[in-house]
A and B are shown apart, each in its own frame.
Chain A
């Protein structure tokens, strides 16, 4: 039965980075909604300035602090929670939970660790212990050993056979690995590795490079009941990090026997760890027989745990929260829109989901772009369809490729390079795979070179053939049908045939070929649930019905790249929250699986659709939104949409192209809010840069209020107000200054407040500026109350924003980054020194 919890400490995921976007915040947000039902008081710790969760918790219960052992201990001593939930805080939070247990903090404070018991957590944190556990329950793990000389290495190889991987053990972050297929290669590798190692030791392990990578996500209740949420299949073989691989749900190339073996293994592992809640297990599946190895066990929320939930529509986070509290599956009550059987029914899918990673090499191009066991992608997009091809193309078109090409070609690469890239894959490898097919490589050859299952080449080939057909039969009804079946949107067809999209729309009407929306729900049509998550398909039955109430469509940002993306998601989520508060039915369209803005509780309807003109128009045509919000700077899309005069489109923040700079540098800024002719100062900021650069591209770190605010703030605010012409500027506006040697401030420019800073301002001023902007543009802003909130300006402390860059993870030597290279940020506070 359920644990009685009065006060629970929830550990946050921290700033976004490679390997972790906003998915942990999304999970924490859903968890919060579940926990609120239990009446428990929630304490939350996180320093991610773009956390939506921290805004849903009572302000007094939020600790904006780095999630580390020391801080958590302090919070425990102050708050005396009776339970800790660490599973939505990533591996970092799990490690802290373990430290809390090891150091006796949990026992001395009588705190219940939810999800997994400390003794079992230890088995997951400590690799050796996990290996012992798995061996004990007869699961195979990859053999590895530390060796001190060639003889020991040879003994090991005699036991496990070639190929093996040799890694030097070195103090520096040496990530070299040598794959050895025979004795000669092994001797060479050992020779090099022993020289590099700071003590003469090497790690040697059995190589499973080329195996299929399969992931399983299961959940378990305290009574030991289990169900499998979904299996995921990585298209790319072991050797490429799962985060850099194209992933399919459900699994595509496993036969029943193999699938069930992995499902059973997952359950056995969950039982042996006494997991209550979720568990994500990764496997290496042999291609030549039914053998497999367990490669990773994560009894907490991971990126792919949440992807599995997204793929099936199963309310995983909500259910898992109750499981962690000790509820049994049959005791969990879901919101009314779900079937009452959903918590304990094993999800079954009638669609395909594909996830394609996005890499940051456009913004950071001086690093090794080869894909290997270190994750390099910073985001991903998903495509959902009824056919595999449809899902692939939708996920590709949700990513960075040009809308002009259906399947981009890489014609500049010569044949040798193609072969080289097939063997040593680079980012966006799917383009090379298709290029190789175009150049006539056989599917057998390709599968041999890449260790990718032939099935996927067969599918890519179908796509190429469909594209050829569509190109060769412009404007024919058959082409439209083929195109639609394989996921080519109307916008793509229009671009491809170089015609106006309206012409395609007319053709669809003439042949009565209309888009339909299918619901993503976990029973494959057995129950009429209303998850209200949809994807498009050209079929008979449309399940998405327009709302009778006034409706707003918010167009999400799609996949994360570097730059202000996590902030943009925060921004998007806040727009949804604001619209709901003022009585709109909200629709969100997005393709990023890791965003908060797709959290089911935040909107009334979610569309997993490519963010492209054709797909957007189809939704508009069905739902007839009264207003459309376009968050983020998307010049191309906003230009395209503005062709349609009857659409009520609000771009937020206003396009950055309207920024006006006298100089491309600043040290200080004043943020103003302008409504009609009224200008209200909001606050002041100082920018700082550890390398003393003050050009605009390097203004990543800032604090509020400005340095010397006691002395200079009112002066510079006056100056800012004077500079700004309300007929040119509306909403949140930032006036930039440089401070001269003589102590004067010289205005260098004026621009809309950026997305990241809007999030920051919301956290530091206590006013939800996104809410204010939404109301302003809907014409329902209550100025009197805003004036009241803003006056008088009483600064209480410094708020500091520090940008994070992915240089270390990408093995780049860069120390300094531009705003376009940010991967996340941390928020902290500092008291004034009196």
Chain B
């Protein structure tokens, strides 16, 4: 958009005294709008309330947690619960840093491998027409429907046969093949102009170069989305079925062990809730625009 057009638009918009809705559509009634937005505000408050409550519970000192009648907002907010949690974790047999390492290692390796493998597959599925390609993609979309529990038992048997029980690979390698990542990547790559690939080919690029130099740099939003979804999935993965030695357990699993520690750990338990939820939410907040850009092409055609 040229500067002139932008300026024109700005001048046009100024005439409306900064309207709440940018371009008022002609078929809207003001009463309807107000009613709808009040409704939205109420629902948003209800949605956010449990989270606000959880955050406040984590900030309450212990005496306030057991106060009657209970209050929603902390009167004297402290970070004691978090520091207590850190102390408890530090006293455990396996150190806190080891749990953190496990989580970071699994998340980084799982995400990197998933990104690589899924985007290679997505690239050929989106841009080439070869026998079996569409059929394979259909199967992937069906697989998106199945929750992890359903395939858990055969999965355990397979991982056992591979000798991966109680190793990181039991979590990392299945995460490589997560169907939703391939699905989103493929849908996004379809929006990439085919002429771009053809031009690169005329200039003498081979398939690998087309993929790594042309396609991948052009699908950065989809990268970001894949990374976020993968991180969210792996972060919340307790992998309690596959991993039993304490020194290979994930941070979230260790934290939930603290949480189960009874009434004396109420404050720490509240802090655990916050630590567990803050990572996925923060990653989402920072990458929201890119995720939405990817999701715009997420539609399923029949």
Q: Do A and B bind each other?
A: no
